[in-house]
Amino acid sequence: MLLSTSASIVIALLMGIAGVAFVLWQLKRVFAYDQGNELMREIGTAIQEGASAFLAREYRVIAVFVAIVATVIAVFLQWQTAFCFVSGAIASAGAGYLGMYVAVRANTRTASAASRGLHEGLRVAFGSGAIMGMSVVSFSLIGMTLLFLIFNGDPNQLTYITGFGFGASSIALFARVGGGIFTKAADVGADLVGKIEKGIPEDDPRNPAVIADNVGDNVGDVAGMGADLFESYSGSIIAAATLGAALGNGSTVAYIGLPFLVAAVGVISSLFGIYMVIGKERDESEAANASYYSKSVYYLSQYVAKINENASLEDLLTALRRSVWGASVVVLGLTLLAVLMSGLHFNYWLVIVTGLVAGNAIAYVTEYFTSYTEKPTLAIAEATQTGAATTIIQGLAVGMMSTALPVLITAFAILISIWLGHKADGTLAAGLYAVALAGVGMLSTLGVTLATDAYGPVADNAGGIAEMSHLPEEVRQRTDALDSLGNTTAATGKGFAIGSAVLTALALIAAYVSAAKIESLDILAPTMLPGLLIGAMMPYLFSALTMMAVGKAAHEIVLEVRRQFQEIPGLMEGTGKPDYKTCVGISTESALREMILPGALAVLVPIIVGHVLGKEALAGLLIGTLLSGFLLAVMMANAGGAWDNAKKYIETGEYGGKGSDSHKASVVGDTVGDPFKDTSGPSLNILIKLMTIVSLVFASSFGSGWLSF
């Protein structure tokens, strides 16, 4: 039996609903954990209030932004696109809100659970991450499928739905760029006064910026990463469906249905992977008499059982890796079924496999370059012996070197995908559809990969709370183990995010070229080269702006923290109460203010270039941004991750350990790496995708350009 497109869409909708059911169940489960002692609850409440204040403020600005853009779209394009735009924004913002809501409540519960054992802690933190992961996937699927059903039969159906991607991109802009500035401004501001001027430890409740810092962790790695991948996930499906619509000579629409179907089976696989981490151990006797189903659950659970109290970082990492790999194996089987049931060529399954393998390969390379068990990061640690300058040089060199393999992997994946698609259907268009499908494949297990990522800040916060509320040393050790693990998964997550951003953007560019009815895109055409050059420059300009923004915002925090230490009596002695809220407010305001210019550039430059230099030059602009942004993003993310871990390596006692000159040099590297890996680098994913989706949405409005000849 072959599946019709409508059937595929309905299946995807149902799987989205299943995902929501899981989220609700998991919410109940996480909230059932206790929040620890009074002090922990107090700190937890402060973080929750800070997060709420940030989100309330940010979402108010977003609402205005969305209203304005929606009006522009409705006036200049169609109301349907505007409607989809608003839907996309709401779906992404909703997932982000839920993820943040849970994360800032799971942190105290993780700290508390960690006092009972390592696996208990992991279960709560990971459960919270899973809520974020599954919300992103489900909300995206439900949103897109509902819109698809609403506009069913309308020939411009897919054009409208690009608006959903634009809506998601807009939220990602705020969450990633604004959030990235917030998180690092608070972090750097807190450290500059706290650690350096006042000599108090990190995560000290006396520091007025400490809550802003804790909120920031969640803003960056939960809401930011979530919105980034929500955008890639939606974008890759939209791009695949749009490119698919042009295939098969209209005789079959299975091409449109397939990406939805792949996403749908991805939900099942992700749930399976998540279960491998949070599932309970069962005892042998129970298993012996159990049903076949329960038995298999038992054996699967035994993977989990490896996480015992003496688990090393490697053990924990293995546990998480198994869950991602387990999900990947399941998705491979189910997507084969999906391709066969769609009646499409077997090659398309190979394309999905290519995407999945490429994503994991990039993540693996990222881990290699940023983990302190490997040569590149060790070389940075070694370079700390000759001071801060050599530490920086070595780190930048490692970051640059680390671009080679991800680029080769991506280039190879693109080449194979195009070749497979071309072989299957004999057209270049099928090849580009295959690239989009590879992107969908790469992101099919997003539910679980994002969970491994979004749990990190929860563990990080839990550690801070354990520190601030003076829990026993062993609890802190456990949360530290969870946190270290989170750092590694965060680095690999960033590799995944940029890899998927590239494939998604490329697919969206192909969709743009088709939507703008561009016949030929000769690389030596008059306006193409200027387009490419300006495009390649955009990531540099954007990074410069976001890096400077962190500096300015951090400076404001510094002034406020200094003021509080001066004006609040007994603050240093622990008798006065710091005003956490003002610091959160300042971080929020400055982050929102500083993102205006880079954000406006990302939205306006494509529109300006499209009108002035024409639609061909705009394609050049997008390719230029993609190329240069990909490289710069990987370089920044990996250099930042490697510096961070080189510092952590020295803190284990190598090269003189904490307080040594080597350590000081490594701190310089880590501080430079902070905006690299948490603000500017990840923001480039957004730049690449946002510029592309803006071009796609406005594709029909561009002509040959005022300056064309």
Q: Which of residues 576-615 bind a second copy (CB under 8 A)?
A: 613
Question: For 614, which DSSP code?
Answer: -
CB of 683 vs a second copy, minimal distance in Å = 13
Contact 235, 242 (CB under 8 A): no
Residue numbers 657-676 binding a second copy by CB under 8 A? 667-668, 671-672, 675
CB of 184 vs a second copy, minimal distance in Å = 10
Residue numbers 12-41 binding a second copy by CB under 8 A? none
Q: Does residue 442 belong to the site contacting a second copy (CB under 8 A)?
A: no
Residue numbers 285-324 binding a second copy by CB under 8 A? none
Q: Does residue 648 belong to the site contacting a second copy (CB under 8 A)?
A: no
Nearer to a second copy, 311 or 420 (CB): 420
31-39, 268-276, 516-524, 569-577 -> range binding a second copy (CB under 8 A): 516-524
Out of 530, 576, 585, 656, point to the residue binding a second copy (CB under 8 A).
530
Q: Does residue 635 belong to the site contacting a second copy (CB under 8 A)?
A: yes
Alpha carbon distance 160, 253 (integer Å) = 18
Out of 544, 572, 600, 604, point to the residue binding a second copy (CB under 8 A).
544
Alpha carbon distance 249, 239 (integer Å) = 18
Q: Which two tokens stand for residue 272?
A: 């399976």
CB of 322 vs a second copy, minimal distance in Å = 32
User: How many residues belong to the site for a second copy (CB under 8 A)?
Assistant: 79
Question: For 677, which DSSP code?
Answer: I
123-131, 360-368, 392-400, 436-444 -> range binding a second copy (CB under 8 A): 392-400
Nearer to a second copy, 241 or 672 (CB): 672
Q: Which two tokens stand for residue 514?
A: 């088709």
CB of 709 vs a second copy, minimal distance in Å = 6
CB of 5 vs a second copy, minimal distance in Å = 25
Name the residue among 89, 91, 224 with its Cα closest to residue 697. Answer: 89
Out of 90, 537, 596, 607, point to the residue binding a second copy (CB under 8 A).
537
Q: Does residue 91 belong to the site contacting a second copy (CB under 8 A)?
A: no
Contact 682, 631 (CB under 8 A): no
Q: Does residue 507 belong to the site contacting a second copy (CB under 8 A)?
A: no
Out of 21, 337, 393, 572, point to the residue binding a second copy (CB under 8 A).
393
298-306, 452-460, 484-492, 545-553 -> range binding a second copy (CB under 8 A): 545-553
34-42, 150-158, 263-271, 536-544 -> range binding a second copy (CB under 8 A): 536-544
CB of 446 vs a second copy, minimal distance in Å = 23
Query: Phi and psi dihedrals of 253, rounded to 5?
Result: -115, 20
The residue behind tokens 């002692």 is: 37
Q: Which amino acid is at 32?
A: A
Q: What is the Cα 591 distance to its own chain's centre?
A: 19
Nearer to a second copy, 552 or 563 (CB): 552
- For 298-307, which contacts have Cβ atoms below 8 Å and span 24 or more sequence positions? 300/275, 300/276, 300/326, 303/276, 304/119, 304/276, 304/277, 304/279, 305/281, 307/118, 307/119, 307/122
CB of 438 vs a second copy, minimal distance in Å = 12
Going residue by residue from 397 to 416, which x/- string records binding to a second copy, judged by CB under 8 A? Answer: xxxxx-xx--xx-xxx-xx-
Nearer to a second copy, 293 or 709 (CB): 709
Going residue by residue from 195 to 234, which x/- string records binding to a second copy, judged by CB under 8 A? Answer: -x--------------------------------------
CB of 124 vs a second copy, minimal distance in Å = 34
Nearer to a second copy, 19 or 614 (CB): 614
Name the residue among 697, 688, 262, 321 with its Cα closest to residue 516. Answer: 697
Out of 27, 623, 686, 688, point to the residue binding a second copy (CB under 8 A).
623
68-76, 129-137, 483-491, 535-543 -> range binding a second copy (CB under 8 A): 535-543
Q: What is the Cα 595 distance to its own chain's centre?
A: 18
Q: What is the 3-state secondary structure (H, E, C) of 281-330?
A: CCCHHHHHCCCHHHHHHHHHHHHHHCCCCCCCHHHHHHHHHHHHHHHHHH
Contact 618, 695 (CB under 8 A): yes
Going residue by residue from 155 to 194, which x/- string records binding to a second copy, judged by CB under 8 A? Answer: -------------------------------------x--
- For 313-318, which contacts have Cβ atoms below 8 Å and span 24 or more sequence positions? 313/481, 313/484, 313/485, 313/488, 316/118, 316/122, 316/481, 316/482, 316/485, 317/485, 317/488, 317/489
Nearer to a second copy, 226 or 395 (CB): 395
Q: Does residue 525 belong to the site contacting a second copy (CB under 8 A)?
A: yes
27-35, 248-256, 308-316, 427-435 -> range binding a second copy (CB under 8 A): 427-435
Out of 378, 419, 607, 611, point to the residue binding a second copy (CB under 8 A).
419
Contact 145, 164 (CB under 8 A): no
Q: What is the Cα 321 distance to its own chain's centre?
A: 18
18-26, 233-241, 393-401, 438-446 -> range binding a second copy (CB under 8 A): 393-401
Q: Does residue 631 belong to the site contacting a second copy (CB under 8 A)?
A: yes
- Cα distances from 217 to residues 50, 144, 494, 606, 634, in angstroms, run 12, 30, 15, 32, 21
Out of 389, 559, 572, 604, point to the residue binding a second copy (CB under 8 A).
389
Name the residue among 410, 257, 272 with its Cα closest to residue 331. Answer: 272
- Cα distances from 638 to residues 384, 541, 670, in angstroms, run 17, 20, 12
Contact 169, 686 (CB under 8 A): yes
Q: What is the 3-state secondary structure (H, E, C) of 189-211?
A: HHHHHHHHHHCCCCCCCCCCCHH
* b/e sequence 274-302, b meaning 16+ C-beta within 10 Å: bbbbbbeebeeeebeeeeeeeeebbeebe
CB of 562 vs a second copy, minimal distance in Å = 13
Out of 170, 628, 683, 685, point to the residue binding a second copy (CB under 8 A).
628
Residue numbers 358-387 binding a second copy by CB under 8 A? 383, 386-387
Alpha carbon distance 192, 199 (integer Å) = 10
83-91, 115-123, 544-552, 583-591 -> range binding a second copy (CB under 8 A): 544-552
CB of 377 vs a second copy, minimal distance in Å = 14
Q: Which two tokens stand for residue 156?
A: 């411009």
Out of 171, 365, 432, 440, point to the residue binding a second copy (CB under 8 A).
432
Q: Which two tokens stand for residue 695?
A: 């071009």
Nearer to a second copy, 153 or 199 (CB): 199
Residue numbers 230-289 binding a second copy by CB under 8 A? none
- Helix residue ranges per DSSP H, 371-403: 375-383, 388-401
Q: Which two tokens stand for residue 337?
A: 């079924």
CB of 555 vs a second copy, minimal distance in Å = 8
Out of 100, 258, 534, 696, point to the residue binding a second copy (CB under 8 A).
534
